[in-house]
Structure 1
């Protein structure tokens, strides 16, 4: 977590109550018929046609209105609305 202020871009009032959601992706190959996991990949051993996860490590949920967004969205909104 970055130690900077947050502000919810949706309700525009919450600066104090948030849920921090750490993302831990798992790379898997599924059986197309059953949906069962047939193979689990480690980070360095993905198949040539499997792209590695490139999303954010952290998501933030507003504790007042429930909006879930990337952490940078809450940070940028706080930077532009300091009052």
Structure 2
């Protein structure tokens, strides 16, 4: 479902936005080199690895550059 946006920072932009889709990749890195040692799927995370629980998308204002969660822009437009 589409929602109107309004930038909560510049308070004037209602039409120019960048939608940033977030796709988390769970990895285990070598502590000294930073090389990827192991890559996990959401089903096979080890007990010490917390799954990503952040937003699926973030929005960037095309005028001022603010990047926030989508709900911030939706709530500002509803006021």
How high is the TM-score relative to the length of structure 1? 0.93
User: Where does residue 11 of structure 1 map in the other structure?
Assistant: 10
The SS at the match of 2:77 is: helix
Moved over 2 A (4+): none
Aligned length: 79
Q: What's the offset of the Cα at 1:70?
A: 0.4
Once the two structures are TM-superposed, the CA of residue 45 in structure 1 deviates from its matched residue by 0.4
Following the alignment from structure 1 to structure 2, what is the Cα–Cα distance between the partners of residues 47 and 77? Answer: 39
State the distance in 2 between where 1:13 and 1:5 align.
13
SS across alignment from 1:73: helix
In the alignment, the residues of structure 1 paired with residue 75 and residue 30 of structure 2 have an alpha-carbon distance, to the nearest angstrom, of: 41
